[in-house]
Amino acid sequence: MSYNFWTRQRWCLLLWLAWFAVGASPAQAQGYQWRTWSAGWVQPPLQVTDLSGRVWRLPELAGKVVLVNFWASWCEPCVTEMPSLQALAQRYPDSVVVLAVNFKQSLPAIDSFLQRTGLTLPVVADAQGLLARQWGVKVFPGTVLIDAQGKARGAVQGELDWGGPSAQALLQPLLPRSH
């Protein structure tokens, strides 16, 4: 077991060094990566029901920027970024909707997390991981940004401070001009 541990540690270190040697972008160096939604990718429909029973349909959210955040309570970066997502939704209540899609956790685990943290974002349970698969999310946290016309513009892979300048650079082009 000791051999496997140290072998894995060496490989991780080598991969990390190689990643920086080939020129990681500043976004990647900060813990996230931006991926533009390609014109060739099919955007899945978005119709979900949150834990309170409210149905969210993308066409009904026209005029608002929608962030679909895929997370799990076992994911430390997910937990770290949650307060900034909550603050973002509170900062732009008329123009931004944040849907927090929990990845493959039980309802008791989700409820426990919500009680501990006081999170008030709409939370959707993705018990089988179907939504994450449909939206191409493989890295957690993963957040898909959808513009006010209902078109996916891109996805953030990894943790991002949604109140910081990097997030503002992603959001500003999508927000109504008054912001």
Q: Are residues 3 and 79 in the same domain?
A: no
* Confidence band, pLDDT 50/70/90 cuts, at residue 4: very low
List own/partner pairs for 39-43 with CB under 8 A and 24 or more apart.
Answer: 41/136, 41/152, 43/151, 43/152
Predicted pLDDT of residue 39 = 83
Reported as a single tens digit per residue, the pLDDT across 123-155 is: 999 999 999 999 999 999 999 999 999 999 999
Is residue 108, in this structure, part of any structural domain at all? yes
Q: Are residues 79 and 95 in the same domain?
A: yes
Is residue 177, in this structure, part of any structural domain at all? no
The 3 state secondary structure assigned to 70-87 is EECCCCHHHHHHHHHHHH
DSSP 134-162: HTT--SSSEEEEE-TTS-EEEEEEE---T
Mean pLDDT of 52-59: 97
Q: What range defines the domain where residue 12 resides?
A: 1-25
Alpha helices, DSSP H only, in 22-119? 26-29, 76-91, 107-117
- Total domains in the chain come to 2
Is residue 178, in this structure, part of any structural domain at all? no
* CATH code of residue 128: 3.40.30.10
Q: Are residues 82 and 9 in the same domain?
A: no
Q: Are residues 4 and 91 in the same domain?
A: no
Reported as a single tens digit per residue, the pLDDT across 26-53 is: 344 358 999 999 888 889 999 999 999 9
